[in-house]
């Protein structure tokens, strides 16, 4: 399967390459982001390089898709969005947006595009696990039609059922 590049009005969702490393490191080290996306504190540059390689392998194995969220006009990295277990009917999402690009509707636009793509693969339910207190992520999911269905391991579980949309 070739990597599924997606485009929206303002964004290009594409695979990672070495040009993204420094912006990805900066995002994963951001004190306002890493507590919500990492269990092990901020990663080092070599941790992130290994992570990019792992993510690429994981796509080849048919498990996870990690998209770079880039500005369409410049191809600049502004965040990432991942679909985990993308071949299953319940697909889980993880994501983060670089600080200076938040609150401009970019992640909502990216998730909407990925939702459309996952529907074509047969996804029926989307899920996201959000740390208690991560109001931005909870509000983003609510704005996309997700609802909070459970609380596990100190995280709120949000779900959106897609099947009714295509029925
Ligand atoms: C959560 C996160 C990805 C949101 O990305 P974003 O690009 O800023 O989100 P959007 O601009 O697309 O927001 C869409 C809607 O979500 C809601 N929203 C997003 N951030 C919000 C915030 N800080 N406070 C309140 N509502 C918020 C709003 O309804 C917003 O629409 P509006 O701006 O028209 O009011 C971003 O804040 C982030 O990267 N946070 C750190 C990492 C993280 O928490 N990742 C998720 C782990 S589960």
Is position 39 within any domain?
Answer: yes
Residue 25 in contact with residue 45, Cβ under 8 Å?
A: yes
Is position 157 within any domain?
Answer: yes
- Closest protein CA for atom 20 of ligand 1: 136
> How many domains, in total, are found in the chain?
1
pTM higher than 0.95: yes
DSSP secondary structure, 7-45, as one string: E-SSEEEE---GGGHHHHHHHHT-TTTHHHH-SSSSPPH
Is position 130 within any domain?
Answer: yes
CATH number at residue 161: 3.40.630.30
Is position 16 within any domain?
Answer: yes
Which structural domain, as residue segments, surrounds residue 159?
Answer: 6-166
Helix locations, the chain, DSSP H = 21-28, 34-37, 45-60, 106-121, 135-143, 163-166
Ligand 1 mean position, distance from CA 148 (Å):
16
Question: pLDDT tens digit string along 110-164?
Answer: 999 999 999 999 999 999 999 999 999 999 999 999 999 999 999 999 999 997 5
Is position 1 within any domain?
Answer: no
| Positive or negative: CA dihedral 151, 153, 156, 161 | negative
**Pocket, ligand 1, Cβ cutoff 6 A:** 32-33, 36-37, 95-97, 102-108, 128, 130, 134-137, 139-140, 143
- Closest protein CA for atom 3 of ligand 1: 96
Is position 118 within any domain?
Answer: yes
Question: pLDDT tens digit string along 14-48?
Answer: 999 999 999 999 999 999 999 999 888 899 999 99
Closest atom of ligand 1 relative to the 109 alpha carbon: 12
Is position 55 within any domain?
Answer: yes
């Amino acid at each position: 399967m070739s990597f599924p590049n997606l485009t929206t009005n303002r964004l290009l969702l594409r695979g990672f390459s070495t040009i993204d490393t420094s912006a990805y490191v900066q995002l994963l080290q951001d004190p306002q982001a890493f507590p919500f996306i990492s269990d092990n504190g901020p990663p080092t540059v070599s941790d992130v390089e290994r992570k990019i390689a792992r993510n690429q392998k994981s796509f080849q194995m048919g498990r996870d898709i990690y998209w770079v969220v880039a500005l369409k006009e410049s191809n600049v990295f502004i965040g990432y969005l991942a679909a985990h277990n993308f071949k299953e009917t319940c697909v889980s999402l993880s994501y983060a947006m670089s600080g200076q690009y938040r609150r401009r509707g970019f992640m909502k636009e990216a998730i909407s595009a990925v939702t459309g793509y996952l529907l074509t693969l047969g996804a029926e339910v989307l899920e996201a696990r959000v740390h208690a207190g991560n109001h931005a992520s909870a509000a983003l999911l609510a704005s996309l039609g997700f609802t909070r269905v459970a609380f596990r391991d100190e995280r709120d579980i949000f779900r959106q059922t897609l099947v009714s949309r295509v029925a």
